Chain A
């Protein structure tokens, strides 16, 4: 032991090794272990590096099931472990508890380590009053207040984490479903494309043939009328022409062929919209015309739009917007579908687009029942739905929100009960570089 000329003794060496049980005491750890059990673990314990249990809470008999083990670091070395036991069907929950315990114990240890070092240094070497020591420790404690909160709110946090995990999981499933629906649609579209190609082309050829047949038939018909070989044959021909309603057939065959060609053309457009919508061919950014993308989305939704619904388009002239058109279509799709499904009789959906202040603004206004104020700020949350269980995924508007914000855009909703709802989307255009 060394003593200096002021009588301070130096039997204390800064840097001596510390044990886990010197740094973590019952009042620090027990509330945490308790919270872990309250949150759904069957037991929780802290063991040292030799595997000896320092603290434990919970049912020790039922050790079967799942064990989550998290290391406890002291000065960077593994000084022990946190052991969480529980039912094997609570894997997510136990992992979440383990993760939170790991962080909480880390904060406690850091804070106690600092306090211990400070106190030891104080007691043995620093000339400061007891009050000053208290004050120093109070300051050190300020930064550690967090862990006390942690202990008391661990349960709540575990719950939140579990819900979060479940949501993330469900969301993943939903995304997978979206992807497979898209792929299916694109696949079907592709399959339709081929027969559709020869249907159109055959009908066109058929049209040519029919024209020729008609021409020839008309020629015979006229010839017979004038100077047929015998009266009997002329009468028979006239009679047959009439019975077969060939005047009508001649007229109608043109309409039929024209309608069929139109129909094929429409199928072709639907297929191309479907393909465009799922963007099977181009999964990358391109310069999109937002107005055209809205039209494309409306086309895909045709069958969902009842006769009596009126769609009013009020499109402004827009600059092109660099985006993945599939995403943008998906964003519009969910908003439009939402308006349609709110389902009021005599619904009018007004879609207005404008470009101003380096922004593209898109407004979807309906005269539906409106969104009650109580849930207005929740509609963009994942899995929030007002539809019956099993009907809506509750993902629609959240997906829209995610897509719009991914383009650094904003989405707002204004609504008045009984009067209608307006969704406004603002998409920022890239900053123009001025030439100097």
Chain B
């Protein structure tokens, strides 16, 4: 894991996101800049964990990578080719699979789980694996293939969605909170399964989760997002041991510990900002305990840590 630091342009990249801006437009209101200039790369066989505050634009970024949200500015390239908005049918052929945040709306309610997984196997031209084999791999009984989505519990639905994505043998797998409903023991099992797929077949995995303890176990690198921007990227062990951006520090401090002591985790002070109306200067400044004068006027527009306390020399 340790040789993977920040990547430079001459490395082989599978996915490259450059200065991406994605806006949501709805009639009669200002455009919401959900992704506001974000850059990120994923290499073959690499697992990148994407974490950040609810509403900061993680799902929007992931959907743009799949061609499901139009790009306002910047670019996304996958295997050297630009990603363009695609119909759902063509998306299956691009080698990118996504497990959506909300499995209830992404699984077709009228079709049996087995049939939906079989679609993925057909995409990969896999005739030797059966849907039941995949269900078994994600820890479900083989006979669940005959059930419809409403007959599953929340965690069982998430596993079906993962089995379907794995069936298609993607070269890039995106998981948007893919295992949030599983219990602790199932989480580590399924997270490892996803990681193994990436490492064994040379596929990339972009793993979106708010559960930092899971990200920590499976990701090679962590990217931290705040209000449409990536504010810190780095090797997992380093970010965990020594978070540098004040937002990353707040995030790590808010993880509740299972020690049985009844301690409520620390809350981040201040209001969750509205992406339609972001603060001037550093986007985190109204809530930052270390705010300085420069932070209020000038945006720290650099990496790997977008903060005036960590300006590259």
**Do A and B originate from a single complex?**
no
A residues sitting closer than 8 Å to B (CB atoms) are none
